[in-house]
Amino acid sequence: MPSLKTLRNRIASVKATQKITKAMQMVAASKLRRAQVAAEAARPYAVRMGAVLSNLASTLGGADGAPALLAGTGKDQVHLLLVCTADRGLCGAFNSSIARLARDHAQRLMADGKEVKILCVGKKGYDILRRLFPRQILDVFELRSIKQIGFVNADEIGQRVLSLYADGQFDVCTLFFAEFKSVITQVPTARRLIPAEVGGEAAAAGGAGYEYEPGEEAILADLLPRNVSVQIFRALLENVASEQGAKMSAMDNATRNAGEMIRRYTLQYNRSRQAQITKELIEIISGAEAL
């Protein structure tokens, strides 16, 4: 059985940890509101962008005259996985759930004989995936030094993806991130980035017919590269909100668990102390009776 001094040290250590987890929970809660507002504000813009692209694609009358970012290369052999996670941990299963979704997708593609390449946004996803796919990872973008995610950060990543596509490095690009639903719910999501997805929620957002000036080809030539950065920007904002929500929940659980550990250690300490006092009293009484 641990000594009283050891138990006191353990109680003090857990109390110090509990103060840290409580402070981290409060910090995550303060950041969550702003991150949630930013993520929710980006959703309509990204959806309307997809709706415009869907409307333009429907007027082209076939894939022959469509740009490469919309029609694709005509092949499905090389896949680029753009995996967006966080740079920091202590947020429960947030990072591992996204990495698991990307891992399962990559393994299915490789089992079908496809070639897989990976771009990681966030150090935690890179740390997980490099153990399984060390040769497939092309690069990692770290966002640790960035205080607030901006469109310029997403555009930098988007330009790298477009550069790889222009060089013929891949045929299909899939974006992985966590969609924020609530503080306790973040849904790992995979969304095709290149060729651009048309239909789905984008088509539902607008079904009216429009006449465009200049022509559809000129508009698509400008919108399609911008759409890549817009979708990445939305994914980054969703990730920030999801990370803070997951961290808030994880630190709340850690604070509760620390409180339970303190209760158990305190009970054990009191029992040990009482047993020691009882033993000393017995020894004193036995010595007095012997006299």
**Same structural domain, 239 and 161:** yes
Cα separation, 273 vs 267, whole angstroms? 10
Three-point CA angle 92, 96, 16, nearest 5°: 30
- The pLDDT assigned to 202 comes to 44
The pLDDT of residue 50: 80
Same domain, 206 and 282: no
Catalytic residues: 91
Residue 142's pLDDT is: 86
pLDDT of residue 285: 84
CA nearest neighbour of 118 among 164, 83, 165, 66: 83
What confidence tens digit (pLDDT) does each residue in 85-115 have?
998 888 888 999 999 999 999 999 999 899 9
Q: What CATH number is associated with residue 151?
A: 3.40.1380.10
| b/e burial code for range 244-282 (CB count within 10 A of at least 16 → b) | bbbbbbbbbebbeebeebbeebeebbeebeeeeeeeeee
Same domain, 258 and 245: no
Q: How many domains does the chain have?
A: 2
Residues 203 and 276 placed together within one structural domain of the fold: no
Is 0.95 topped by the overall pTM?
no
User: Residue 112: phi, psi to the nearest 5?
Assistant: -90, 5
- The answer to whether position 198 is within a domain reads yes
CB 93 within 8 A of CB 183: no
Residue 188, token pair as written in the block = 């790992």
Could you tell me how many helices (H) and strands (E) the chain has, helices first? 7, 5
Residues 200 and 241 both lie in one domain: yes
Shared-domain flag, residues 150 and 15: no
pLDDT at position 76 is 84
Residues 160 and 277 in one domain: no
What SS3 class is residue 117?
strand
Specify whether 272 is located in the same domain as 238: no
Residues 190 and 258 in one domain: no
The rounded mean pLDDT for the chain is: 85
Print the domain residue range for 140.
35-250
29 falls within a domain: no
> Which CATH number belongs to the domain containing residue 11 in this structure?
1.10.287.80
Which pLDDT score is estimated for 102? 92
Instruction: Please give the pLDDT value at position 64.
Output: 57
Looking at residue 135, its amino acid is R
9 and 140 belong to one structural domain: no
Task: Report if residue 213 sits inside a domain.
Answer: yes
Q: Is residue 61 in a domain?
A: yes
Encode pLDDT of 223-270 as tens digits: 888 888 999 999 999 999 999 999 999 999 999 999 999 999 999 989
Residue 28 lies in a domain: no
Same-domain status, 98 and 174: yes
Quick one: 55 and 136 in the same domain?
Answer: yes
Edge-first strand order for the sheet with 78-84 is 137-141, 115-121, 78-84, 172-182, 185-194
Low-confidence ranges of the chain (pLDDT < 70): 1, 60-65, 145-146, 199-210, 212, 291
Is the residue at 25 inside a domain?
no
